[in-house]
A and B are shown apart, each in its own frame.
Chain A
Amino acid sequence: MILRFLQRLPGKTDYILPALLLFVALLMGGLSLLPETASLHVSGYVVSLFGKYLCYALLALSVDLVWGYAGILSLGHGAFFALGGYAMGMYLMRQIGTRGVYGDPVLPDFMVFLNWHDLPWYWYGFSQFAFAVAMMALVPGLLAFVFGYLAFRSRVSGVYLSIITQALTYALMLAFFRNDMGFGGNNGLTDFKDILGANLQSDGTHAVLMLASAVLLCVFYLLCRLLIRSRFGKVLVAVRDAESRTRFLGYRVERYKLTVFVFSAVTAGFAGALYVPQIGIINPSEFAPANSIEAVIWVAVGGRGSLVGAVIGAILVNFAKTVFTGAFPELWLFALGGLFILVTLFLPRGLVGLWAQVHGRFTRYREAKREGTLRVETVPRHGDLPEAKLEVGE
């Protein structure tokens, strides 16, 4: 079934963004392997930074899929991202072995410190990479399934849904802060040594991880593209724009929402999983509600309802954040808030929408000029999303 789905290869234009991303990633990876004296050498720090942006872009893609296409404004996607990250972190912890401060062959340092004698049952299996990979998908997926099943079945939508997604990630943050949860409490998981036998401190590993992030982003981008292009995607947009109309046509709206929500959560989980080894730490602050909101802002800036927009938005905003926090660290949150207000007011379809508008105007201008019928007219903004609605009951 999945194979038949994949047979429908996306159109040629769909490959532009993946090709570009892979090219930049390969170039950067290659340059980082040059000797440090070379003028074109890219440092391991920059490579990891770009890798981090790519992981954020994947998170943005997952947010856009539910928000931009299905109209589900999740303000808790950071939770799925962090859970994927913890799954990876647990694998990396188990790889440390006797190299930890306490040298315990089984228990991670923080457990020895807490005087624990046995590995908790939920840490079993994480020494196996394949098991950890399965958990990166299963844990966020299962949480999204249970949460989505209850929320969508009870027809919770709009602001109410956004608020409970916030509550979800906040509750998880509080839980993970507790030492007796067994995930390292406040400090989280860190001091990783290697991944699949490769040293996590080496530039080569950083380059490979960054490339892996690029590849995964491209794979998920194309998958999302296929999904959006399919009739399933058309139903999603129908749900977004006229939910009860869709329901009275005989579609079980909650199943569509649940399917896309779970897929999106798994995507976010993988993004978090690749993020952790490049950053070197995962702690409960990744569950902070502000993180999830930030991801929504990336999508809004890039262009809600455009997969390319989500990727561009995440990379640009995070690049700006890197530059900005270097210069005026205390002002970043104000800048981000201001950016969100500006985009909401003036660029309802984000940067991608702006480009489409300018491009459309230019094309029309050229055509009109060629036909000699140039006249000034206001251009209807095709493809505008309907106004954001706060639906409070019916």
Chain B
Amino acid sequence: MTGEEISAGGEAVHPPAEALLYLDGVNVSFDGFKALNALSLVIEPGEMRAVIGPNGAGKTTMMDVITGKTRPQSGKVLFRGDIDLTRHDEAEIAALGIGRKFQKPTVFEMHSVEDNLLLALKGDRRPSRVAMMRNNPGERHRINEILEIVKLAPLKSHRAGDLSHGQKQWLEIGILLAQEPDLLLVDEPVAGMTDAETEETADLLRRINATRSVIVVEHDMTFVRALGVKVTVLHEGAVLAEGSLDHVSADPRVIDTYLGR
């Protein structure tokens, strides 16, 4: 051990070996605008974390950095202790076991619900291999399992484009599950959902969290409360507060940020 890891804020941070995801002093700026400002964040294996923050706080940029879409100018992004995510691209990071759900539900509209999951199933992604692949019972079994989890079994042969907004959100979560990732990044999963759907989604994520780590970015406070997990508040590209929802909502800086906006 070389001693305690010290984050930019001066607080002690876990040594990366234990963490599933470890961000330290990550900086991203676009044309002078600092989207991430010395962001540090640690996700433990098996943890579910809610990330909240006003618009422009850097939530989506943080996901872009983790999934390899955006390269940070400086800082550490480590996965499972020693994998430097800044050295990998989107496809490699997906193969390493990080799945991402977009803010706007993004599914393959022209494909059936079943085919959406088929394309997402963990497996060889090289064009020459993919061209040879044939449907097999193991895959069908796995697809049916996922369809049950995301409650889309009766719609499996429907075109994904014909699904309702909420169903598309679930299908996209199903797509993530099919990838069998260790870490799911879920961007605004309940945007545009009814209250009943929101509740079911919270339930779904909790069940997923039984076997996988999850980072949820959300604006909906009832939903975050329903998740009942540790909350990280982002503001201007850095962590403003961290802790239980009650703890952070009592924090005067958080109140200022939300009310002052």
Contact = CB atoms under 8 A, between A and B. Distances in A.
Interface of A: 1, 4-5, 8, 227, 230-232, 234-235, 237-238, 241-242, 244-252, 255-256, 259, 380, 382-383, 385-386
A255 B109 contact: no
Among A227, A242, A244, A255, the most chain B Cβ lie within 10 Å of the Cβ of: A242
B120 interface: yes
Contacts of A234: 111, 115, 118-119
B67 A248 contact: yes
Contact of B110 (A4, A8, A237): A237
Contacts of A1: 128, 132
A244 B69 CA distance: 10
A227 to B, nearest CB: 7
Given A245-B102, A245-B106, A230 B90 contact: no
Interface string B67-92: 10100000000000000000000111
Contacts of B95: 250
Contact of B125 (A245, A251, A383): A251
A242 B127 contact: no
A231 B133 contact: yes
Interface in B84-124: 90-92, 94-95, 99-100, 102, 106-111, 115, 118-120
Given A237-B111, A245-B102, A250-B125, A231 B130 contact: yes
Contacts, number: 91
B159 interface: yes
Given A5-B132, A251-B91, 12 more contacts: A8-B134, A231-B133, A232-B131, A234-B118, A241-B108, A241-B109, A244-B102, A246-B119, A247-B90, A247-B91, A252-B127, A382-B162
Given A4-B132, A249-B179, A242 B125 contact: no
Interface size class of B (residues with CB under 8 A): 20 to 34
Contacts of B224: none
A248 B107 contact: no
A201 to B, nearest CB: 44
Nearest to B131: A232
B43 to A, nearest CB: 18
Contact of A250 (B107, B109, B133, B179): B179
Contacts of A232: 127, 130-131
A255 B100 CA distance: 21
A298 to B, nearest CB: 22
B177 interface: no
Contacts of A231: 118-119, 130-131, 133
A4 B111 CA distance: 25
A215 B127 CA distance: 28
Nearest to B108: A238
Contacts of B106: 242, 244-245
Given A247-B90, A248-B67, A249-B175, A241 B110 contact: yes
Contact of B90 (A238, A248, A382): A248
A249 B94 contact: yes
Nearest to B92: A250
A382 B126 CA distance: 31
B110 A255 contact: no
Among A8, A230, A245, A247, the most chain B Cβ lie within 10 Å of the Cβ of: A245
Interface in B163-213: 175, 179
